[in-house]
Amino acid sequence: MSASRSRQAAADLLIETLDNRRTLDEAMELSETYGALTGPDRGFARAMASAALRQLGRIDKGLAPFLNRPIETAVPPARALLRVGAAQSWILDTPAHAVVSETVNAAKQWARARSASGFLNAVLRKAVNDRTAFDAAPATSVWPDWLTVELMTSLGVEGASALARLQMEEPDLDLTVRDEGFAEDLAKRIGAKRVGLGSLRVASGDVAGVEGYRAGDWWVQDAAAAIPAQLLDIEPGQTVFDLCAAPGGKTMQIAAKGAKTIAVDRSKTRLQRVEENLERTNLREAVEIVAANAETWSPDTLADAILLDAPCSAFGTLRRHPEGAWIKGPDDIARFPEVQLRLLKAAAGLVKPDGTIVYCVCTPLKREGADVVAAALKDAGLERAPITAEEAGPFASALTGAGDLLTLPQDGFAHDAFYISRLRRTA
């Protein structure tokens, strides 16, 4: 019974994400079937849903030979259970008899799926014995076709393929340590590897169980996401604006360097996360939190430095949030370059002459990275302050000819894809 409940919960998570266009984190909050599970059943349900989302396009290609209609035409519970069954067999190596019997049982016990149980049984019995089409599907078919074209246009065929292969692996957990001086010691105690510019890496798992969580000694932040704030080169006491700050990963880095930090975000809900994160890490007093649109916000003083982590398509974080490839479409991401350019131009007016702006986006799409920076350099009173190989350290191979960073799998260890440019106000 509990084995089939975990299959039903995994399928429910897929319906919440793919049909109702929510993130997997939101789905796990909302799904009552998932919420009712405990212990290993809950962990297995999450693992099945996560594996299915991570390789969704390949799974659909793998199932296609056993279906006489496109999978999209199946009713949502049947479609979701098919994908859950395939993910168990082809990715999680669940024994064939358990895949078929427990996934079909899940359908029989689920009113909305009951009528599809015979169909599921027939398809899954074939699928567990034949993964040929799944194995033959190219890595880039983890994404919908339109996104593969987008990523190939920005990164080339090999670059996009490398990103897709990375998405198929379960990512580790990266931590940023509040007090850099304790990083080495903490790394030893929790058995972490040092990666990037001072991040610690542990296997993914229960975050709150890692030593130092409650004391606020560290926070979760991908090794590439930790770079932008490091490039600000802040002196203690300087005024730094963190525009687009929530949930506050980079705000904490800036505050931990002793800067007078103003964290601006237009989402009051997301600013609550900033507040919680600052409280937990004992950095709350160093930061003023402002709910405002950074395009029109007019503070009393100019900043010594600004970090602008602009809203973006977030396709550089698909290995952590693979559902992003399926719940966003071309129309959802079309507006970003204009918004990013407006925010960058606004930032140029908020920093002192000679002051630094670090612009970053967690996407490898050229039109949200290099193209936005090129447009701002034309008429926003900014010049590039190229990032040096010494500053980039293990990310040096990610430096562009112009001195920006585009962090991709080429750096030799897995991390998110970010575009980062450092600019200076000229007058």
Residue 347 annotated as lining a ligand binding site: no
Residue 250 annotated as lining a ligand binding site: yes
Q: Which is nearer to ligand SAM, 114 or 268 (CB)?
A: 268
Q: Does 28 bind ligand SAM (CB under 6 A)?
A: no
Q: Does 217 bind ligand SAM (CB under 6 A)?
A: no
Q: Does 293 bind ligand SAM (CB under 6 A)?
A: yes
Q: Which two tokens stand for residue 351?
A: 């920093």
Q: Does 288 bind ligand SAM (CB under 6 A)?
A: no
Residue 248 annotated as lining a ligand binding site: yes
Q: Does 312 participate in catalysis according to the annotation?
A: no
Residue 35 annotated as lining a ligand binding site: no
DSSP state of 284: G
Degrees to nearest 5, angle at CA 425 with 346 and 402: 100
Q: Which two tokens stand for residue 383?
A: 């010049």
CB 266 within 8 Å of CB 290: no
Q: Does 311 bind ligand SAM (CB under 6 A)?
A: yes
Residue 271 CB, shortest distance to ligand SAM, in Å, is 8
Residue 246 annotated as lining a ligand binding site: yes
Residue 236 annotated as lining a ligand binding site: no
Degrees to nearest 5, angle at CA 295 with 281 and 317: 55
Q: Which residue is nearest to ligand SAM (CB)?
A: 244
Residue 244 annotated as lining a ligand binding site: yes
Q: Does 248 bind ligand SAM (CB under 6 A)?
A: yes
Helix (H, G, I), strand (E, B), or coil: what is residue 34?
helix
Q: Give the footprint of ligand SAM on residues 324-363 (CB under 6 A).
A: none
- Which of 79, 266, 367, 425 binds ligand SAM (CB under 6 A)? It is 266
Catalytic residue among 71, 252, 347, 362: 362
- Which of 120, 139, 244, 382 binds ligand SAM (CB under 6 A)? It is 244
Which amino acid does the sequence have at 355?
A: G
Task: Kindly list the strands in the beta sheet with 199-202, ordered across the sheet, starting from the edge strand earlier in the chain.
Answer: 193-195, 199-202, 173-177, 218-220
Q: Does 23 bind ligand SAM (CB under 6 A)?
A: no
Q: Which is nearer to ligand SAM, 28 or 312 (CB)?
A: 312
Q: Which is nearer to ligand SAM, 59 or 274 (CB)?
A: 274
Of the candidate spans 52-60, 61-69, 239-247, 363-371, the one that interacts with ligand SAM by CB under 6 A turns out to be: 239-247
Of the candidate spans 47-55, 205-213, 243-251, 384-392, the one that interacts with ligand SAM by CB under 6 A turns out to be: 243-251
Q: Does 2 bind ligand SAM (CB under 6 A)?
A: no
Residue 270 CB, shortest distance to ligand SAM, in Å, is 4
Residue 291 CB, shortest distance to ligand SAM, in Å, is 9
CB 187 within 8 Å of CB 378: no
Q: Does 295 bind ligand SAM (CB under 6 A)?
A: yes
Residue 409 annotated as lining a ligand binding site: no
State the burial class of residue 100 (Cβ atoms within 10 Å of its Cβ: 0-12, 13-18, 19+). Answer: buried
DSSP conformation letters of 344-374: HHHHHTTEEEEEEEEEEES---GGGTHHHHH
* E strands in 233-378: 239-243, 260-265, 287-291, 303-309, 351-361
DSSP state of 18: I
Residues 29-32: contacts with CB under 8 Å, at least 24 apart: none
- Rounded CA-CA distance 407/316 in Å is 9
Residue 263 CB, shortest distance to ligand SAM, in Å, is 9
Q: Which is nearer to ligand SAM, 61 or 257 (CB)?
A: 257
The residue to which tokens 């190229």 are assigned: 386
- Rounded CA-CA distance 416/408 in Å is 7
Determine the size of the site formed for ligand SAM (CB under 6 A).
Answer: 17
Q: Does 247 bind ligand SAM (CB under 6 A)?
A: yes
- Rounded CA-CA distance 302/349 in Å is 8
- Which of 249, 324, 337, 364 binds ligand SAM (CB under 6 A)? It is 249
Q: Report the phi/psi class of residue 387: left, alpha or beta, with left for phi > 0 and alpha for psi in -120 to 50.
A: beta
How many other β-carbons are positioned within 10 Å of the β-carbon of residue 96?
A: 14
How far are the Cα atoms of 156, 164, 404, 417 from residue 370, in angstroms, in the given order?
Answer: 15, 21, 8, 13
Q: Does 267 bind ligand SAM (CB under 6 A)?
A: yes
Residue 366 CB, shortest distance to ligand SAM, in Å, is 18
- Rounded CA-CA distance 204/369 in Å is 29
Residue 292 CB, shortest distance to ligand SAM, in Å, is 7
Contacting positions for ligand SAM (CB under 6 A): 244-250, 264-267, 270, 293-295, 309, 311
Known binding-site positions for S-adenosyl-L-methionine = 244-250, 265, 309
Known binding-site positions = 244-250, 265, 309
Active-site annotation, residues: 362
